Structure 1
């Protein structure tokens, strides 16, 4: 959502800037030549068409509904694009300490990949949940229970060392590598 907001904000800003420039051009043109109906925009034609409309006409209702829906969508995008920090325990009550989910995911991923049993791992993290998808080789019995236990143990040890305000739930899924060790 943050990417959408970062893309949408400059576009809306450019549209408002273009409307402002258009308004300035039209005002200057009206001062220089007051008798014309507008330089780029036919204001007098638009005014004649709009004076015939009332608030209960169908085009007015449709445009107002579209503007309201667009406004609600923009508000929803802005609310969902907030930062999702992972709170940490503060050394003093006057401080607020947090880290980003990306940093937590990188830290967990680096810890998981240090294991000899793990060939590759992807990690996604939030304040509530850490999801680890690890790839490794099967244990002596041909299963991946030992790999899952190893990964879960490493993540648990790391989370014990971190000063997290709330311990996230850990979800570990493992799968095997096809090539030999």
Structure 2
């Protein structure tokens, strides 16, 4: 969604700017030569073609349906482009407290990486789910037993301490590093 918004916003801005420039050019040309035809856009020819076209004509209906569909798509994109904040419990009912998923992911990642048996970890978070991918150091026996439980326990302890309005699900996947510390 972010890529779509980042490409759609400049394109729409450029299109509106181009229409504005053309409109300014046409207005200045009409002031300079009031009886002349349009400088860039052939207004008299368009007026003659459109004046004989009834509202129930097929091209008018097709253009209006296309404009309505594009408008509904832009409205849908605008509604889906909201921030996805993680709600926290407020100290008073008059307050609303929230944090971003990025902050929650950084907090969980820092907590997981503080463990001695975790070599590296990546975390992605939303209001509904936290996904942790951790790599662990081999233990004394050369295995990775208990790494998943350790990571899940640290995340669970952190989530117990945070004032989250709704506790997200936690998914942990672990793998071991082959090289020693």
**With structure 1 as the length reference, what TM-score do the two structures score?**
0.88
Given the superposition, is the C-alpha separation of residues 175 and 58 from structure 1 closer, same or farther in structure 2, using an over 3 Å criterion? Answer: farther
Residue 39 of structure 1 and its aligned partner are, at CA, apart by: 0.8
Under a length normalisation based on structure 2, what TM-score does the superposition of the two structures give? 0.88
Structure 2 equivalent of residue 166 of structure 1: 166
> How far apart in 2 are the matches of 1:121 and 1:51?
68
Tell me by how many angstroms 1:151 deviates.
Answer: 0.4
| Distance in 2 between residues matched to 1:60 and 1:175, nearest whole Å | 62
State the 1:140 CA deviation: 6.7
Show the counterpart of 1:99: 99
Count of residue pairs the alignment pairs up: 181
Deviation at 1:74, TM superposition (A): 1.1
Q: Which moved more, 1:48-57 or 1:128-137?
A: 48-57
Structure 2 residues without counterparts, runs of 5 or longer: none
Q: Distance in 2 between matches of 1:58 and 1:26?
A: 29
RMSD: 2.1
Match of 1:115 in 2: 115
Contact kept, 8 Å, 1:125 with 1:131, in 2: the verdict is yes
Instruction: Specify whether residues 41 and 156 from structure 1 end up closer, same or farther in structure 2 by C-alpha distance, changes over 3 A only.
Output: same
Gaps of 5+ in 1: none
